[in-house]
Amino acid sequence: MFGLSFTNPAMLYGLWAALLPLVIHLLNRRRSVTLPFSNVALLQTLQHDRMRRVKLKQIILLILRTLLIVLLVLAFARPTLTGAGASGSVGDAGTAAVILVDQSLSMQYRTPQGTLFERSKARVRDILSLFNAQDDVQILLVDSDVTPLSDASLTTLRARIDGWSAQFDVTDMLPGLQTALTHLQTSQMPNKELYVVSDVSHVGWASVPDTLEWDGISVFVVPERPEIVQNVSVAQVKTVGGLLRVGQPVTLEIELVNHSETPRGDVPLQAFWDDRRIIQQVAHIPAKGHKKLYARFTPETSGARALRVEIGDDDLPADNTRVSVVQVPEQLRVLVIGDTRQDTYFLSQALQAASFDVHIQSSDQVTDEILSAADVVYLCHVSRLSAGIINRLQKHVSSGGGLGIVLGEQVDMRHYNERILSELLPATLISVRGQPGATTAYQAFPPELPNHPMLSHVQLDGTFRSPRFFAHYVVRPEGETQAILSFANGTPALLESKVGQGHVVLFVSEWGATLSWNDMPVSGFFLPFVYNLTGYLVSGAVSQSDYMVGRVVNRPLGISTKNEGVLRSPGNDAQTIWPQQRGVSPIWPVGRVDRPGLWKIYAQERLADLFAVQVDPMASDLTRVSDARLQAIFGDTRLFVVSADQQIKDVVLPLRYGREFWRLALAGALFLMFVEMWIAKTTRSRRL
């Protein structure tokens, strides 16, 4: 099948110019001149033959001139044949093409014909066979990043395909599509083609806007998908319920997700704490649903410990194991700052009951040394603080320490608003509501408390009753400060802000020994709340040890060394790394982590650090993006979804501009010009 198209169709308006010779001819015919002549008898005989020849030549010239203009216009309009047989197999009109190849985790899905990625590689080979050496072909490997494979000939590209492998990252098509679009729009080639070879999971298209304009570009989506999705993934592993302490039981929460269309009642699951198995069971998960499983275990040693959860084999093994590294602190040091014993009594008692290492200081005795030794600091109703202490507290929090501020009777509101809160927790103290000691009127917490780590296990479900608050400050949160818990009347009671790596919380009523502001310190609510609060505040101090695949990781050095370390990936590849100074802290510059699992850093012939790399749970979701969404993204452009049983060339070649005719048209025009000049010249010479 053939078709004729024009690369510059606007030039065809020039065909009107082909009428010019005819118009000129008609205008000249009307201009007959009468000449007086003596005898026309001889001329009449001569005229009869010659005039016939002259008229014939004029008609020939008219046709030649018209054709000349037509051919010139056609040459500039660049006529091309379209269709599979237009010019051999791939055509000689140039093609600019970008091939996006999805190399994300979901492409590791196993099918009887190989993994989706292996199948994609075969498709890419087919696509490459559609190009000639003069074509501009670019391949972009995409996951959450874009890796261009440029500067290579078609032969080299074909040879490299075998070396590709699917990665562990999630897909994001946007950077790849933007790159392809910008590149193709710059190209002067008649054919502009985009190929997307992917499992077309909807996750990868979520960030792609409908506003990109694909005019003039043919888009070929080549889906490689399993017939039926059978996949369960370990989506999350974490400890819940506050602090991890040696010898104290902790709850492990595991979330499994079933991405299949059918329920799974037979998913074997095991969890390991370091290498000790702590759970073994079978999970039942509804179709397209998820299931949370819980188990209790007791950490026996402190330090960085590895949690690993495994489920049984399925068609996407890469998401069947998830590792997390959790820190079990040896001892948590809490500094309680208060000016009188009455101010610090209840809080220090609660902290000591929870086995924290508690130190009590008055505000004028706090030094850098004391602060640097503390994981968490509490300010108990302190009236004012010096600029030096505020500065030290800010540094403490920025570097990951926790700070709890408890308001009370002696608080200097103006000083807090202007000096303390402006630096540590953006908020304004407005007034005191209620009367300390007036126990007949009070505020309480609502029965339903928000879901927050500071409030876990202290829900007011009958186990605890709400404390009564006879007096409290009215505080307006500002900036990024958030109210975590409010009284039943909606007034904020507990506020939180993040400063650098650490947390700051503010409680609006006093915990003094007189109990004149509330009865909270003697309620059942107090002890678990203080325990949770302290654990939450210290979470910034316990360094993060879990990262997503694809991130660049820098680990705190932890030890004093200037010598090299050895980084071991989950695949046991070893790489030498050197400590670097980053800001005030020395780090191990690990770089981009591309494999999930446990990563280790050895220094001075011992294990110096441990961290976990996890796959994005979204990467396991193979739900297909809808055709309507693809249509919305690519708009009115030529979008073609190549089905599994279709040959790519059968779809592409019939649409492609094949042989171009502009050279032929130009040569024809030149030829006609010479013929016209010759005929015109002979006519003139005979007249002479």
Partner 1 sequence: MTLMEILSGRSVVVGLKGQNKREVLEELVNSLEVGDKITDRDKVLDAVLLREEIMSTGIGHGIAIPHGKSEYVTELGGVLGIKKEGVDFDALDGKPTYIFFLLVSPLDVSGPHIKALARISRLLKGEDFRQKLIAAADNEDAIAIIEEEEKKY
Q: Counting contacts by CB under 8 A, is residue 136 touching partner 1?
A: yes
The minimum distance between CB 583 and partner 1, in angstroms, equals 11
- Which of 3, 26, 215, 341 contacts partner 1 by CB under 8 A? 215
Size of the site for partner 1 (CB under 8 A): 31
Q: Counting contacts by CB under 8 A, is residue 551 touching partner 1?
A: yes
Stretch that binds partner 1, among 77-85, 145-153, 236-244, 675-683 (CB under 8 A): 145-153
Nearer to partner 1, 407 or 639 (CB): 639
405-432: string of b/e by CB count within 10 Å (b at 16+)? bbbbebbeeeebeebbbebbbbbbbeeb
The minimum distance between CB 618 and partner 1, in angstroms, equals 16
- Which of 14, 148, 558, 654 contacts partner 1 by CB under 8 A? 148
Q: Counting contacts by CB under 8 A, is residue 138 touching partner 1?
A: yes
For 167, the enclosing helix (H) or strand (E) is none
Give the x-and-dash track for 163-202 against partner 1 (CB under 8 A): ---------x-xxx-xx-xxx-xx----------------
Binding positions for partner 1, 25-84, rule CB under 8 A: none
* CA separation for the pair 397, 375 (Å, rounded): 9
Stretch that binds partner 1, among 136-144, 356-364, 454-462, 492-500 (CB under 8 A): 136-144
- Which of 16, 159, 213, 438 contacts partner 1 by CB under 8 A? 213
Under DSSP, the state recorded for 377 is E
Nearer to partner 1, 139 or 374 (CB): 139
- Which of 89, 129, 156, 207 contacts partner 1 by CB under 8 A? 207
Nearer to partner 1, 114 or 216 (CB): 216
Nearer to partner 1, 531 or 634 (CB): 634
* CA separation for the pair 318, 315 (Å, rounded): 9
* CA separation for the pair 109, 231 (Å, rounded): 9
Q: Counting contacts by CB under 8 A, is residue 479 touching partner 1?
A: no
**Which of 537, 527, 521, 534 lies closest to 353, judged by CA?**
527
How far, rounded to the nearest angstrom, does the alpha carbon of residue 647 sit from its chain's CA centroid?
A: 32
* CA separation for the pair 289, 263 (Å, rounded): 8
440-466: string of b/e by CB count within 10 Å (b at 16+)? eebbbbeeebeeeebbbebebeeebeb
The minimum distance between CB 557 and partner 1, in angstroms, equals 17
Nearer to partner 1, 119 or 183 (CB): 183
Give the x-and-dash track for 574-613 against partner 1 (CB under 8 A): ------------------x---------------------
Q: Counting contacts by CB under 8 A, is residue 155 touching partner 1?
A: no
Nearer to partner 1, 88 or 591 (CB): 591
Nearer to partner 1, 137 or 271 (CB): 137
Nearer to partner 1, 298 or 554 (CB): 554
- What HEC string does 212-276 produce? CCCCCCEEEEEECCCCCCCCEEEEEEEEECCCCCCCCCEEEEEEEEECCCCCEEEEEEEEEECCE
Full DSSP string of 520-589: GGGSTTHHHHHHHHHHHHHTTTS---EEETT-EEEEE--S---S-EEEE-TT--EEEE--EEETTEEEEE
The minimum distance between CB 590 and partner 1, in angstroms, equals 12
**Which of 580, 558, 582, 555 lies closest to 567, judged by CA?**
555
Q: Counting contacts by CB under 8 A, is residue 151 touching partner 1?
A: yes
253-291: string of b/e by CB count within 10 Å (b at 16+)? ebbbbbbbeeebeebebebbbeeeebbeeebebeeeebb
- Which of 70, 71, 75, 98 contacts partner 1 by CB under 8 A? 98
How would you list the strands of the sheet with 290-297, edge to edge?
232-240, 250-258, 290-297
Which positions lie near partner 1, rule CB under 8 A?
98, 136, 138, 140, 145-148, 150-152, 172, 174-176, 178-179, 181-183, 185-186, 207, 209, 211-213, 215, 551-552, 592
